Amino acid sequence: MERFWKYKLDHVIFWVATVTFHMFTRLHLIASVGVGQFLLEVLARNLLLAFVIYLNIFVLIPRFAQQRKWIIYAALLVLDLAFYAAAKNAHDVYLYGYFLGDEGRRYFFYNTFYNLSIAIFYMSFSVALQLSREWYAQRELIRRIEIEKLNTELDYLKAQINPHFLFNSINTIYFQIDKQNTLARETLSSFSEMLRYQLYECNGKEIPVEKEVAYLRNYVDLQRHRKDENYRITFSCDGMQGFTLAPLLLIPFVENAFKHVSHFSKGNEITIALSKKDKVFRLNIVNTLDPNQKNNNEGHGIGLKNVRRRLELLYKGRYTLDVRETAGNFEVNLELTVN
């Protein structure tokens, strides 16, 4: 069934059936006006039908109906149907009124009702086919999301160790660290918070963005402790409250930046900026690159391939992702429409 929709066999069957039926009902024209006018009638009628049908499916529905601009859509749909009726009326006047010499059918509006009814019938049928296609695609998307969710949960369960043992061990190590060593204590505390977030708070479909930002901030702070003064790390956020995100959605971008940042003697930079305006969440990450470092692009590609897949499953039609490499820099720009 997937191949049926993939190769648009529904369109092929629709037009084969439509054209065949129309040719059958117009066979009498061959005897009266010849093969040439018979083929012209078939082409004129079905090309006009194809034009108005695909104009509706690929332009009017996506731009107006799906955007809930019902009045504009209805007006343009009426014009679309009227165009077909008018164009077909003109051809009927030519074929029947002048070529066949039927003076009564030289009246322009003679076939208006018939041509309009034909346009409405085929338009309705084509919309029904398109809705069937979209329903099937939506069902398949939901099925794939459920399968990936189950696989993710299974992998999570396989990888999960006893959290009570883990946190008890961390607490033990924390109190064994000399109180004067505040940096080590803060690092272990940040790591503990990150682990707690992953184990206990990432099981839902979406989580408050404040928790995701706190997780990112802890990760960045840990990386600051690992890097020396040759690295400049900037983390900023604006408007990060009042909406939700899929858990652990942003961390792959941040991890990639630290993984593939340059390692010059000075001038290594990572800039992470999160912001939200209206309903659009934006993430911008820029890190310097060493042009002599091998497999930079390959590493970025592997990490981003997986996150692209997750974005497509969770935010299909609601995100844009721009990844680019410039002279000495690697930049990621992500935009999400959030609730």
- Written as one string, the DSSP assignment of 267-326 is -EEEEEEEEEETTEEEEEEEEE--TTSTTHHHHHHHHHHHHHHHHHHHSTTSEEEEEEEE
What is the model's pLDDT at position 162?
A: 55
pLDDT computed for residue 174 by the predictor: 73
Q: What are the structural domain ranges in the chain? A: 2-153, 226-337
pLDDT at 244: 92
Predicted pLDDT of residue 15:
86
Task: Give the integer Cα–Cα distance in Å for 71 and 74.
Answer: 5
- What pLDDT does residue 270 have? 94
pLDDT value at residue 135: 81
pLDDT in the model for residue 299: 46
What is residue 296's predicted lDDT score, i.e. its pLDDT? 47
Amino acid 47: pLDDT = 93
**pLDDT for the residue numbered 240:** 86
pLDDT in tens, the chain (339 residues): 555 445 567 778 888 988 998 898 888 888 888 888 889 989 999 999 999 999 998 899 888 888 888 999 899 999 999 999 999 999 888 888 877 877 777 888 888 898 999 999 999 988 888 888 788 778 888 888 888 777 766 665 555 555 655 666 677 777 777 777 777 888 888 888 888 887 777 777 888 999 999 989 988 988 887 777 888 999 999 888 889 998 888 988 998 898 888 888 888 999 999 999 888 999 999 999 987 765 444 445 556 777 888 888 888 889 999 999 888 899 999 999 987
Contacts for 252 with CB less than 8 Å, ≥ 6 apart: 303, 304, 306, 307
The predicted structure's pLDDT at residue 264: 85
Give bridge partners of residue 319 from the DSSP assignment. Answer: 336
Q: Which fold has domain 226-337?
A: Heat Shock Protein 90 (3.30.565)
